[in-house]
Every structure is written in structure tokens, then in C-alpha cells.
Structure 1
Amino acid sequence: MKAHQFQDASQFYAQVKDYLLSQEALHNLLLALSNALIQNPERFKEKPYLATVDADGDIVAVALRTPPRNLVLSQIKDLQAVEVLAQDLYLSCNSLPGIMAPIDEAQVFALVWRSLTSQSYEMKMTLRTFKLEKVQMIASTTGYLRQATEGDKELLKNWNEAFALEALGKIETDPEHWAERVLQQGYAYLWQDEVPVSIACRGSFTPNGVRVNMVYTPPEYRRKGYASACVAALSQTLLNQGNRFCFLFTDLANPTSNHIYQKIGYQPVGDWQQYSFV
């Protein structure tokens, strides 16, 4: 087995596209990041790590990192490739904040990285990937979906900050910059009752689908069906635009959101784990 690094995102994508598309839903994050590196390189201030591992001419693993974020791994056919990737990454940059990968791959990488660096690790989150092809009917609630406008900017900033603290325990991106970006690109959608009560955002595209993210309802508006209605309406909007699938990630520690998404029609695809290195 041998690791190969790529300096050009387009060349990397050309090599890994078929491998990732064999399980498009599971690999939606890797596909979306690859697309973002090609279409919007200005978003990324540091050089990305783009790599594959080949065995007898066939790709058996894909890795991508956009510093300062975590490394993301594909599903890997032969887990020996994890060690090859870890050694290659260690030679390139011997520090790493964390790893996000399918469960087996994440666990093996964490162990190998500890042996290389003596860094301890801790599991931060277990996530589940979901895919939707058809929205299911759900109980109706008052309100309607609308695209966020410039007048919503302060609300978007506040909700992004609250979402990050609740879901991640820390603020990883500047809420002001995030709000400006999603407004400029038309990514943010609000469920409007008498006032805005819930948010869901359109994420990056894959060749056949699009990710839904940043689903948040302030505590005072919860348990009224707003989040379900917002995600269902946005998902239908995205399907109507010609996407075959919608994808999203859920935190398995939050059974409420997992139940909500499955009622809408999202089907589980695979589980991921996120580790941080200390």
C-alpha cells in the first residue's frame, strides 16, 4: 500500500470521485468539501491535505483535511491503509486537532495516531448519516418556510452562536462572518410563525444531492413541531430543485432530533465518530 498526496483539488477529485460516489450518502461530507475546494478556494486560508491510499492500483482509502479543521476519512476497505495514512500525515504535519470518520476507521486512526505522537485522545461525538429521497407527510403546524433576508442578520448571528454552544460546546466559526456568507449565498431558511421560530440551512452539494445543516430551534419555541416542519419544507424545496437526495448528520446523543428526521423520511446510512487529540 502507498499513500499519494495531491496538490490540486481538481486532480484529487478526479481520482476519488468514483470511489466516494459508490456510497454517496455516506461520503457526502468528503464530496462536499472537495467541491468547495474547487468552486470556492478562497474560503480556505491554509493548504488542504488531500490523500489516497492505493493497493494494487485501486484506491482503498481517501483522506481530506482543511486546516484548522479535523481530518475526515472515507470508509476504508482495508484498515491497514489507516496506518499508511497516519504515517503520511505525520510526516506532513505532526499535529492534528481531531479525526472524523466511520466508526471502525476513526477508532483505528486514533490508536495509530497515539502511537505515533504520544497524544492522548477522547471521543467527542457519535454521529449518524441520513439520506432522504422522498419527504413523508407529518403533522401540520402553524407557519411557513421562507428564505432568510438581510433583516434577519442579527437573529442568524445569535442563533448560530447558540447552536454552536449547544451542539459543540464551543464557537468554531465567527457568527458574523457565517451570517454574511449564508445570506449572500441564500443558504439560510427560517420557519416563520408570528415571528421566526426555527432555522435550517442548505449545505454543500454532492453530484446528486445536497446536505441540510444548522437545524436549530430556540428553547422557547421547542416541542411545537417547528423544527420538523422547517426541515421537511426545506428538504422538499431542495428535491424540487432537482436534487435526488438530501443528507444530514445527527448527534446520536440527541434522540429527539433522530426521531424527528426519521418521521420526515430520512433513512440511516452509517455511523461516524469524532475524536479530539490532546
Structure 2
Amino acid sequence: MAARLADEGENPHGFSGDRKSVEALVTAWRQRTGDTVVEHRRERLYNLGTLTAPAPMPAGRARVADRGDRDLLVRWAQEYATAIGEPDRRDFGVWADGRLAYGGVTLWENDGGEPVAMVGSSRLVAGQVRIAPVYTPIHLRGRGYGSAVTAAAAQAALVGGAADVLLFTDLANATSNAIYQRLGFRPVTDFVTYRL
């Protein structure tokens, strides 16, 4: 792959995938091109085993986002991209519209009815639903909202027919890895992203 990309004049921004495969590709790319390639992020893929509700459960409730939430979803998606250090060039309005079209965002509302966290979910494909992104604004973190909304989205995926509920975590974020494991997510394999 490295030889073909280089020979065809391709200029990738980086490589991402399971650790073993990507590290082999990066080695071949460096040998072929002499480019500097640096590790950017290590992630772990998780699959839901038995869903365990957060304890204690924060006050409030989950609900599926609707068109009236669009501006909030756009803003939170932008904040999420910034928080994880991704120079995401997506049109977040398009992202929000796509998710709203099939009920692909769940919000957690506090007991006053104010949205305090969100989680996105993919459509059901081949028996799988992927959860991403999970976002709680900084000033609202540490109250269990992210755990609660993730559990609600995972439960909805199971009820909707998902055999596998998947999510990725940044291995540098010990807190999120611990939270998802407490909810019943089990490690599958590690992924790595390199940037040129």
C-alpha cells in the first residue's frame, strides 16, 4: 500500500487503523518516502457486554434530540472536536442534520429540563451501532451526565436490534476508559493514528 500510494503521488495526511497493520504501513511509508510520521493518538475499540446502569444515576432523563436542538448540537459538536484536538473541517450543521434525520443524538436533561450532555449513535448496520461522540461541556463534567446518556443510548441501540454496541476511547483518557468499562464495555483491540 505504501509503495502504491507513493508511486501514484498520493499525499495522505496520515494513517489510522489497528495498531499492527498501521505500524507496518508507517514503517514502509517512511522507508519509501523518507517522510516524518508521528504518532498522534492511540485508541481502544470497545464492545458492550452486559450493560450496567451508572450508580448513582444523576437526576434528569434521556431524550432523543429534535430539530429544536440543532443549534446546540452544532455548537457541542464543534466544542467536542476542539476538546479532542482534532482539526475537524466537517460542516457540523450537515453532521447535526444527518443525525437528526434518524434520531441519532441522545441528550441528557437535568431535572430542570436543560440539556447537559449528548451522545451520537450511528444507524444500525450489520447488527452494529457505534456510539460517538460523547460530550459534556467542561463546566458540567464530573456529575455523571456522560455516563447516563451513554447508557441510555446503548440501551436504545440494544432495544433497536443491535447485537454489538461499539465505541472508541482515547487511551490517554483514563477517566473515559474507566467509565465505559463500568458501564459494561469490554476491550476488543487497539488502534493508532499517525500524522505526516
Name the amino acid aligned to 1:231: T
RMSD across aligned positions (CA): 1.4
Deviation at 1:156, TM superposition (A): 0.6
Cα distance in structure 1, aligned partners of 2:164 and 2:97: 27
- Determine whether 1:113 maps to 2:32: no
- Determine whether 1:219 maps to 2:138: yes
Deviation at 1:204, TM superposition (A): 4.5
CA deviation vs aligned residue, 1:64-116 (integer Å, no higher than 9, x gap): xxxxxxxxxxxxxxxxxxxxx22233334421111112112222211211222
Name the amino acid aligned to 2:54: I
Please give the secondary structure, in 2, of the residue aligned with 1:130.
Answer: strand
- Determine whether 1:170 maps to 2:119: no
Cα distance in structure 2, aligned partners of 1:233 and 1:188: 11
Partner of 1:150: 67
Percentage identity across aligned positions?
32
Cα distance in structure 1, aligned partners of 2:174 and 2:145: 17
Deviation at 1:172, TM superposition (A): 2.8
Structure 1 stretch displaced more, 255-264 or 181-190? 181-190
**TM-score (normalised: structure 2):** 0.93
Partner of 2:170: 251
Cα distance in structure 1, aligned partners of 2:157 and 2:190: 24
Alignment of 1:48-87 (within 5 A): 85-87=1-3
Please give the secondary structure, in 2, of the residue aligned with 1:163.
Answer: helix
Alignment of 1:116-265 (within 5 A): 116-139=32-55, 140-193=57-110, 194=112, 195-265=114-184
Is 1:198–1:230's contact at 8 Å kept on the other side of the alignment?
Answer: yes
Please give the secondary structure, in 1, of the residue aligned with 2:11.
Answer: coil
Is 1:199–1:215's contact at 8 Å kept on the other side of the alignment?
Answer: yes
Cα distance in structure 2, aligned partners of 1:206 and 1:151: 27
| Matched length | 193
Cα distance in structure 1, aligned partners of 2:53 and 2:100: 29
Cα distance in structure 2, aligned partners of 1:158 and 1:145: 19
Is 1:102–1:273's contact at 8 Å kept on the other side of the alignment?
Answer: yes
Name the amino acid aligned to 2:171: L
Cα distance in structure 1, aligned partners of 2:160 and 2:85: 31
Unaligned segments of structure 2, at least 5 residues:
none
Q: 1:271 aligns with which of 178, 190, 196?
A: 190
